[in-house]
Amino acid sequence: MSMNVQPDLEFIKAMKVAGGDTLKQCYQCATCSVACPLSSDGDPFPRREMILAQWGMKDKLLADPNVFLCHQCGDCTEMCPRGAKPGDVLGAIRAYAYEHYGWPSGLAKLCTSVKNLPMLIGIPAVTVFVLWLISGGMHIPSGEQFAHVGFTQFFGHWDFRLLAKNVLFIDVIMLSALGIAVYSLYQAISTMWGKMEENLGVGELNYRPSATLFIKDFLWPSLKEIVGHGRFRECTVNQDRVRGHLPLMLAFIGLFIVTCYSLFTQDVIGIFIPSMHGPISMWNPVKLLANVSAVAMLVGIGILWMNRAQMEAAGKATNTFYDWFLIWMIAGVGITGLAAELLRLVGIPSLGYVVYYLHLVSVMMLFLYLPYTKFAHIVYRTFAMAFERYRESAYVKDPLND
């Protein structure tokens, strides 16, 4: 069998930038595929991904769910006889995939380099600031008022009962950012799913699951598995990451619930009962959840931060912007969020408003850059895990003839 391989030099260069510069060390002994606790018998990784990357065969890699099934626990890197760091290389391939599938491509490209950091911070910083100017809410409240309304009149206040001014501005900022992200991810996952299906080499499929069946059979079991952190726990050399990642993930879920609650009480019930506006009481169980989540978030990201720094110091991981950017963003959200709340409680409106502004900037960053940064793994990996179930299902495998 002959094979015409056209190496893609741009791809190999992108690998090097994203921390996969050890790629060329690999001599295909396949120790990594056995070391990896997540790699299956029938479709092991990352050995195959290593040679595809060496050959610059990005089309195969972009259609390979294994790339996203990897949790980068580092077991393979630990045992690699050549120091090729397969864990880091797969991370670099994922970074490349987020950039490749990311829409709009300019924004995706922006997220690949530390050189663009001023711009990456600048976009949300200017957006929030300009909207603050437009809103005309540009004044620092008195201590008394601050204690009463907190940050709920950051963008000012009007008497239109159905939609608070502050809510409108926050929605404009955050829902736009999130909207772009959701649309981008929808496009990306659809394209990737198509490529992954094509890559199975079984031709056109006769039957497809309905959306409901897809969620029930493939997506929901994957989500349950993710929450349980079962695969993460399989890792051996880097167990500490579970201790950081699990509280962090639960914090995000907690804060998501709080946001939904707050949205509902303030912006729906608040229409009828105006007293629902303003900060939630500290004794409200939801507020308790919010505070616990905020602390869990800081603890989680702190553990991950230290863990990563230690791994890099020990030469077991490569220092990349791709890895650090997400850690910085999440730490930023957590610190500014909690600091803004504390400043509200101690009643320092001026500093409180500055910190709250930074909080809005960091939250917008997290939303806007979701599809292009390491944060995208929450969507890509979930769907890769769903695909892993899908390819083993009767939709793909003929249960009678295979």
Measured from the CB atom, is 47 or 391 closer to other proteins? 47
| Integer CA distances (angstroms), 74 to 35, 38, 66, 151, 228, in order | 9, 11, 15, 43, 20
In the complex, minimum distance from the CB of residue 199 to other proteins, in angstroms, rounded to a whole number: 13
Residue from 3, 41, 206, 272 touching other proteins (CB under 8 A): that is 41
* Axis crossing angle, helix 285-313 with helix 240-264, rounded to the nearest 10: 150
Binding to other proteins by CB under 8 A, coded x per residue (else -) over 340-369, reads: ------------------------------
Would you count residue 60 as binding other proteins (CB under 8 A)?
Answer: no
In the complex, minimum distance from the CB of residue 23 to other proteins, in angstroms, rounded to a whole number: 16
Which residues have C-beta within 8 Å of that of residue 96, sequence separation ≥ 6? 11, 14, 15, 18, 58, 61, 62
Sign of the C-alpha dihedral computed for residues 27, 28, 30 and 35 taken in this order = positive
Q: If you search the block for the tokens 């006889």, which residue do you land on?
A: 81
3-state secondary structure 254-280: HHHHHHHHHHHHHHHHHHHCHHHCCCC
Would you count residue 220 as binding other proteins (CB under 8 A)?
Answer: no
Scanning 347-376, the segments in alpha helix (DSSP H) are 349-368
Measured from the CB atom, is 40 or 239 closer to other proteins? 40
Would you count residue 199 as binding other proteins (CB under 8 A)?
Answer: no
In the complex, minimum distance from the CB of residue 202 to other proteins, in angstroms, rounded to a whole number: 17
Please work out the total of residues on this chain that contact other proteins, with binding judged by CB under 8 A.
21
In the complex, minimum distance from the CB of residue 41 to other proteins, in angstroms, rounded to a whole number: 4
In the complex, minimum distance from the CB of residue 106 to other proteins, in angstroms, rounded to a whole number: 37
Which residues have C-beta within 8 Å of that of residue 141, sequence separation ≥ 6? 149, 153, 349
CA 278, distance to chain mean position in Å, is: 30
Residue from 12, 23, 26, 35 touching other proteins (CB under 8 A): that is 35
In the complex, minimum distance from the CB of residue 78 to other proteins, in angstroms, rounded to a whole number: 9
Interatomic CA distance for residues 5 and 398, integer angstroms: 32
In the complex, minimum distance from the CB of residue 44 to other proteins, in angstroms, rounded to a whole number: 5
Binding window for other proteins (CB under 8 A); candidates: 9-17, 22-30, 213-221, 260-268: 22-30
Phi, psi dihedral angles at 161 (to 5 degrees): -70, -35
Would you count residue 142 as binding other proteins (CB under 8 A)?
Answer: no
Would you count residue 171 as binding other proteins (CB under 8 A)?
Answer: no
Binding window for other proteins (CB under 8 A); candidates: 31-39, 173-181, 346-354, 356-364: 31-39
Burial of 139 per CB tally in 10 Å (0-12, 13-18, 19+): exposed
Residue from 7, 81, 122, 143 touching other proteins (CB under 8 A): that is 81
Measured from the CB atom, is 202 or 286 closer to other proteins? 202
In the complex, minimum distance from the CB of residue 4 to other proteins, in angstroms, rounded to a whole number: 19
Interatomic CA distance for residues 344 and 150, integer angstroms: 6
Residue from 82, 229, 287, 389 touching other proteins (CB under 8 A): that is 82
Question: What is the distance in angstroms between the CA of the first residue and the CA of the last residue of the chain?
Answer: 25
Measured from the CB atom, is 267 or 388 closer to other proteins? 388
In the complex, minimum distance from the CB of residue 27 to other proteins, in angstroms, rounded to a whole number: 6
Would you count residue 59 as binding other proteins (CB under 8 A)?
Answer: no
CA-based nearest residue to 377, from 331, 334, 330: 330
Would you count residue 130 as binding other proteins (CB under 8 A)?
Answer: no
Interatomic CA distance for residues 390 and 385, integer angstroms: 9
Residue from 34, 237, 263, 271 touching other proteins (CB under 8 A): that is 34
* b/e 173-195 (16+ beta carbons within 10 angstroms → b): bbeebbebbeebbeebbeebbee
Measured from the CB atom, is 30 or 339 closer to other proteins? 30
Residue from 7, 83, 118, 136 touching other proteins (CB under 8 A): that is 83
Would you count residue 302 as binding other proteins (CB under 8 A)?
Answer: no
Q: The tokens of 331 are what? A: 């730490």
H/E element, 323: helix 321-346
Which residues have C-beta within 8 Å of that of residue 362, sequence separation ≥ 6? 124, 329, 332, 333, 336
In the complex, minimum distance from the CB of residue 47 to other proteins, in angstroms, rounded to a whole number: 6
Residue from 17, 24, 79, 289 touching other proteins (CB under 8 A): that is 79
173 and 123 in contact (C-beta within 8 Å)? Answer: no
- Which residues contact other proteins (rule: CB under 8 A)? 27-35, 39-44, 47-48, 79, 81-83
